[in-house]
Amino acid sequence: MAGKTSNLMDKLVSLSKRRGFIFQSSEIYGGINSCYDYGPLGVELKNNIKHLWWKSMVYERPDIEGIDAGILMHPRVWEASGHVEGFTDPLVDCKTCKMRFRADQIDPSRGCPHCGGELTEPRMFNLMFKTFMGPVEDEAHVVYLRPETAQGIYVNFHNVRESTRKKLPFGIAQVGKAFRNEITPGNFIFRTREFEQMEMQYFVKPGTDEEWFEYWKEQRLRWYDRLGIRKENLRFHPHGKEELAHYAKAAFDIEYHFPFGWNEIEGIHNRTDFDLSRHQQYSGKDLRYYDPENGEKYVPYVVETSTGVDRLLLTTLVDAYTEEPERVVLKFKPYLAPIKAAIFPLVKRDGMPEIAHKIEEELRQCFKVFYDESGSVGRRYRRQDEVGTPFCITVDSQTLEDQTVTIRNRDTMQQERIAVDRIREYLTPRVSL
């Protein structure tokens, strides 16, 4: 991370709040641990990341369809999926300072990492949030907030296949909230208890799964170039046997080099026929696929790609953050930038604000834009650099004479003169996906 200081995370947290990317949840009540809200710029960045994923997974591919399943599902889903029994982390408490740790993330034989105190024996803690359906709060009415979106895809496998008449191999993609009662959330929005996932389950003929697993590993790593993430900050991490989730035969993480170390941003899993077979067993419904090519019936295997929107948002912030001698710049890919263009009148007179407002109104029909007339133009440029706005349009005295404006490029800081009636045509290919 050349040119980046070790307190980068502090700077990002502060910039995120100051400029309206991310706020602490319920801040006026003192906040709630590891819960965050996205502000006016954060929600734009988040939507742009989701749109890029959806476009590359669903719109650009004839073999993948999208769905949007509910957060609450039949409780048997989570028995079938293995989450009731197995979605647990080993929890230890410090008897002295009362802090809690995941036993698999520390060396319990050395005592409490915080104060050196004695630790309790590890006890298994289920990460699913429980609530009740209806007014009666008893075991018969327990439902869970989904801890992954994938199960909404498995239980709809037949509905999607039948309604779209898809043949294997094909995928189902989904973006949506997931919830985990993490023992040790932290590192800002890296690990939280409420987050959003972007998951795709690719259903394949058994025996072809390993080939598809390799295919999706490569596809997904390559996708990060479209997200604008530098290659040198990405790597694969294969899961050893002890790391594999209960459903996986093989798994690779894509990791990013965060200021706090290399950490997972996406998982690619070979889930075999585990989930569909279990749902078949628990629901009593035949979930086999009839293969028209050879007349066989079988339960498809699944290769899953699973990433988190919040974690990718943090990744784009870290990767885009650049300190230059005179300015801080978020060098997002232009289509990720929350604001695509800012419009400035050079001065607040001579009809310049009126022209600038007219340009703003026209561009607002196509892009998220921002009008600013306060302070020197240099300061206005810096304010936009800090939130990653790729283009700044200035109306000046020459505009009054020849109906041209300057368009300043965020990265090069070079300015071009463009006719007012060509601004939209200039911007569209440069800020669109």
Q: Tell me whether residue 307 or residue 406 sits nearer to ligand GAP (CB atom).
A: 307
Give the shortest CB-189-to-ligand GAP separation in angstroms: 7
Could you say whether residue 191 binds ligand GAP (CB under 6 A)? yes
Count CB neighbours of 285 within 10 A: 11
CA distances from 85 to 205, 242, 247 (A): 28, 17, 12
| Pick 272 or 306: Cβ nearer ligand GAP | 306
Q: Which of 195, 203, 216, 381 forms a contact with ligand GAP (CB under 6 A)?
A: 195
Q: How far is the CB of 33 from ligand GAP (least distance, A)?
A: 13
CB of 195 to ligand GAP, least distance (A): 4
Check binding of 266 to ligand GAP (CB under 6 A).
yes
Supply the minimum distance, in Å, between the C-beta of residue 389 and ligand GAP.
27
Out of 122, 182, 205, 219, which residue is the one contacting ligand GAP (CB under 6 A)? 182
The Cα–Cα gap between 290 and 312 comes to 38
Least spacing, CB of residue 246 vs ligand GAP, in Å = 11
Contacts of 154 (CB under 8 A, 6+ apart): 81, 201, 275, 276, 279, 302
- The yes or no reply on residue 180 touching ligand GAP (CB under 6 A) is yes
Which residue of the chain is nearest ligand GAP when measured via CB?
308
CB of 112 to ligand GAP, least distance (A): 23
Q: How far apart are CA 43 and CA 379, in angstroms?
A: 25
**Does residue 192 touch ligand GAP according to CB under 6 A?**
yes
Window contacting ligand GAP (CB under 6 A); options: 98-106, 157-165, 261-269, 289-297: 261-269
CB nearer to ligand GAP: pick between 178 and 393: 178
User: Is residue 42 involved in binding ligand GAP (CB under 6 A)?
Assistant: no
- Least Å distance between CB 251 and ligand GAP? 8
Token digits of residue 276: 């569909």
**Euclidean distance between CA atoms 418 and 403, whole angstroms:** 9
Q: Which stretch binds ligand GAP (CB under 6 A): 42-50, 258-266, 274-282, 338-346?
A: 258-266
Contact between residue 199 and residue 154 where contact means Cβ atoms under 8 Å apart: no
Kindly indicate which of the ranges 152-160, 302-310, 329-337, 405-413 contains the residues binding ligand GAP, using the contact rule CB under 6 A. Answer: 302-310
Does the protein bind ligand GAP through residue 83 (CB under 6 A)?
A: no
- Interface with ligand GAP includes 264 (CB under 6 A)? yes
How big is the site for ligand GAP, counted in residues (CB under 6 A)? 19
CA distances from 342 to 209, 231, 286 (A): 48, 30, 56
Q: Does residue 318 interact with ligand GAP by CB under 6 A?
A: no
Spatial distance between the Cα atoms of 165 and 158, rounded to a whole number of angstroms: 10
* Sole window of 101-109, 137-145, 233-241, 307-315 interacting with ligand GAP (rule: CB under 6 A): 307-315
Question: Applying CB under 6 A, does 199 fall inside the site for ligand GAP?
Answer: yes
Nearer residue to ligand GAP within complex by CB, 306 or 316: 306
197 binds ligand GAP, rule: CB under 6 A = yes
In terms of Cα–Cα distance, which of 343, 371, 356 is closest to 427? 343
CB of 315: closest distance to ligand GAP in angstroms?
9
What does the binding site for ligand GAP look like in residue numbers (CB under 6 A)?
148, 150, 180, 182, 191-192, 195, 197, 199, 264-267, 304, 306-308, 310-311
